[in-house]
């Protein structure tokens, strides 16, 4: 995956300041096919960077504070990969906590989770199922979008192909 970042030169003109792979990207060894990328992030009240300086090395939590953002791209392998006898859920949990601090702490054993964020999700490739409380499932395909309003949910790749989704998480205050 390629990331192009713009900024301004010393004369104030718009320029490309970075063009290359997403530097904060991890292919999990505990679950082949699971890939997590953090192309960009912003903190509450942060001013635009004129130089396009990469904020991702400083991110200590993938869960943004209210008014902050995280741009995350995930590739989910087929759910059947977790049924493989070679799958080690303890190793996956450890890798998930290292890669996704903040969010990983909220993930339940069945993958369901609730975050204090508004998430804009776009299915880039493949098909996936969004599961909500009570087991309600909605099938999504490439090009579909989801607006996730701080609700408890889980992602299920019941196909035999990987699925890639892009998410923009916007930190929000809980309403109680």
CA of 8: how far to CAs of 48, 57, 103, 134, in Å? 11, 21, 33, 49
DSSP 5: E
Confidence of residue 48 (pLDDT cuts 50, 70, 90): confident
pLDDT at 47: 83
Place of tokens 């804009």: 120
49 has pLDDT over 80: no
pLDDT, residue 126, reads: 98
pTM: 0.93
pLDDT band at 176 (very low <50, low <70, confident <90, very high): low
Q: What is the pLDDT of residue 142?
A: 98
The residue-averaged pLDDT of 50-79 equals 94
> Is pLDDT of 36 > 90?
yes
Residue with tokens 């087991």: 135
């Amino acid at each position: 995956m390629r990331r192009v970042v713009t900024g301004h030169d010393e004369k104030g003109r718009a320029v490309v300041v970075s063009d290359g792979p997403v530097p904060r990207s991890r292919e999990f060894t505990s679950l082949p096919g699971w890939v997590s990328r953090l192309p960009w992030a912003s903190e509450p009240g942060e001013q635009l960077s004129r130089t396009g300086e990469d904020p991702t090395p400083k991110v200590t939590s993938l869960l943004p504070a209210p008014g902050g953002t995280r741009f995350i791209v995930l590739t989910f392998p087929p759910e059947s990969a977790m049924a493989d006898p070679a799958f080690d859920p303890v190793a996956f949990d450890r890798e998930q906590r290292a890669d996704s601090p903040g969010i990983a702490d909220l993930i339940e054993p069945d993958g369901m989770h609730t975050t204090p964020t508004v998430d804009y999700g776009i299915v880039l490739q493949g098909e996936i199922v969004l599961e909500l409380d009570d087991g309600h499932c909605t099938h999504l395909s490439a090009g579909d979008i989801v607006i996730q309003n701080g609700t408890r949910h889980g992602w299920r790749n019941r196909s035999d192909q990987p699925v890639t989704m892009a998410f923009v998480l916007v930190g929000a205050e809980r309403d109680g």
